[in-house]
Amino acid sequence: MQLQRAPFPSLVVTADELSAQGAFAEAQAAYLNPDPQTVAELRARLERERVGVVAHFYMGAELQGTLYACDWPHIHVSDSLAMADRAIAMAEAGMQNLVVLGVDFMSENVRAMVDAAGHAGVGVYRVSRDPIGCSLAESAESLAYGAYLSKAAKTPKSLHVIYINTSLRTKAQAHNLVPTITCTSSNVVQTVLQAFAQEPELHLWFGPDTYMGANLEAMFSGLVELSDEEIRALHPAHDRRSIAALRGRFNYFKQGNCVVHHMFGDDVVARVRDEYQDAMVTAHLEVPGEMFRLALAAQRAGRGVVGSTSNILRYITGQIAAAAQDPGAPRRLKFILGTESGMVTAIVREIRQVLRDSKAKGGRADIEAEIVFPVASEAIATTQDPELPIVPGVAGGEGCSTAGGCATCPYMKMNSLDAMLDVLDKLGAGGDAGLGALEPRKYSETLAGRSVAALGSEPILHMRGFQKTGALPPALLDDLRSRVPRA
């Protein structure tokens, strides 16, 4: 007789309460109501030292819970693109120093963008003396990725669309070989479609995320099955013929992935499909194809979303807001969280706010949201690392369980509350106080006669231009049309 497996761990959120089911969820919930004295002390120190904080959604629950509870206006938690934007705004508001909570390419991007905005005198600091890596970013630094770009450089009218989660050096080296624009998970589809709209004979090379590339290819294959009118609703310059044509010139790197999203594979998907038919399914564009197809089918049925971390957050809060105004909606809405578990802090905060606002306006007060983590229910392991004492999953494999999935990024968790407070201590001490070791890499070396920092920033600036106008910048198009393919 087959034993029934324990359900995935989950958090049940109401306007005023939070309950956890399973050891992993209990570990997440423990820090979502931080100590008020710690929060007050953090605010006082940030104000005294004139420090702004930008953090990624994937920070640990203790750190995020404390940041969200702190009312210092110069704290922002978001995806990687918005981190740089808000850092610039903080510098413009008079912050003398910025602390970046994320992996190293994020602090590098913040440093470069703050400098480009004219604030080179503002300090930017990481919180770890050790490198905070990223498996996906490192895959773009491999010989295999170099060979991939070399092939692109030999192909006429090539455009390289690189995921923003890569280092400035990677962006600079890529842009030196092939005209390059960065993208995020929230704008990648429009970036690709707009590029082909402006240059129909384009050859597009996406990387380094293999799963995202494969999911984009699958998405474009699915678009061919839609009507011309449905395709034009997604992008007015395209129809079935143009989508069919671009599929043959869309390329993606086959050897890059994120250790977190890598583990949302067959077993997790089978359990979600079989045991959670009443749940709405959310998935990041970086998850493997099995999870992507499940979430995409759910999205098309009006019961899920595929996209960026921000897309997932908006979808969940939107569903809760609608249910709170609908007398016929079920009391409990269940969501599969198909991305890094650090997202739960922002999700809990937003759900509570939506429900409290609804209650104040006379809406339903009984709505509950259950956030399901698709990992093994017992997926907690201890380590000997004081900075990362508890990880989800078995004791090994970077915190991932091949049977149950992987819910957290060990690199992101190298950022801790204690480490951030240590940076504030150093800032308060005056002088260098060891801060030099915490500065992001500045890439002052040159490539093709330009600094690596300046050359690596250009693909980001091209993306910012696209976001403002909805079109690829003329300079980028001129570059790809004028480049002579390398022999």
Map out the domains of the chain as residue ranges.
10-29+259-408, 36-133+416-438, 136-256+444-482
Q: What is the pLDDT of residue 344?
A: 77
Q: What is the pTM of this model?
A: 0.74
- CATH tag for 36-133+416-438 (out of 3.40.50.300, 3.30.460.80, 3.40.50.10800, 3.30.70.1560): 3.40.50.10800
Superfamily grouping for domain 10-29+259-408: NadA-like (3.40.50.10800)
Residue 379's pLDDT band, with cuts at 50, 70 and 90, is very low
Residue 78's pLDDT band, with cuts at 50, 70 and 90, is confident
Q: What is the pLDDT of residue 89?
A: 96
Phi-psi domain of 443 (left: phi exceeds 0; alpha: psi -120 through 50; beta: other): left
Q: What is the pLDDT of residue 380?
A: 40
Q: Is the pLDDT of residue 259 over 70?
A: no
What gap in Å lies between CA 454 and CA 399, rounded to an integer?
A: 36
DSSP H helices, 117-227, are 135-139, 143-153, 168-177, 188-198, 210-223
What gap in Å lies between CA 369 and CA 360, rounded to an integer?
A: 18
Q: What is the pLDDT of residue 35?
A: 87
What gap in Å lies between CA 102 and CA 83, rounded to an integer?
A: 10
Residue 138's pLDDT band, with cuts at 50, 70 and 90, is confident
Examine domains 10-29+259-408 and 36-133+416-438 and report if their fold is the same.
yes
Q: What is the pLDDT of residue 313?
A: 92
Q: Is the pLDDT of residue 306 over 50?
A: yes
Lowest mean pLDDT among 142-146, 152-156, 183-187: 183-187
Residue 266's pLDDT band, with cuts at 50, 70 and 90, is low
Q: Is the pLDDT of residue 447 over 70?
A: yes
Contact (CB, 8 A) for 161 and 205: yes
Q: What is the pLDDT of residue 238?
A: 97
Q: Mean pLDDT across the chain, nearest whole number?
A: 84
Contact (CB, 8 A) for 164 and 102: no
Lowest mean pLDDT among 70-84, 180-194, 308-322, 383-397: 383-397
If one compares 387 and 316, the residue with the highest pLDDT of the two is: 316
Residue 384's pLDDT band, with cuts at 50, 70 and 90, is very low
Lowest mean pLDDT among 77-86, 246-255, 260-269, 456-465: 260-269
Lowest mean pLDDT among 201-210, 242-251, 401-410, 465-474: 401-410
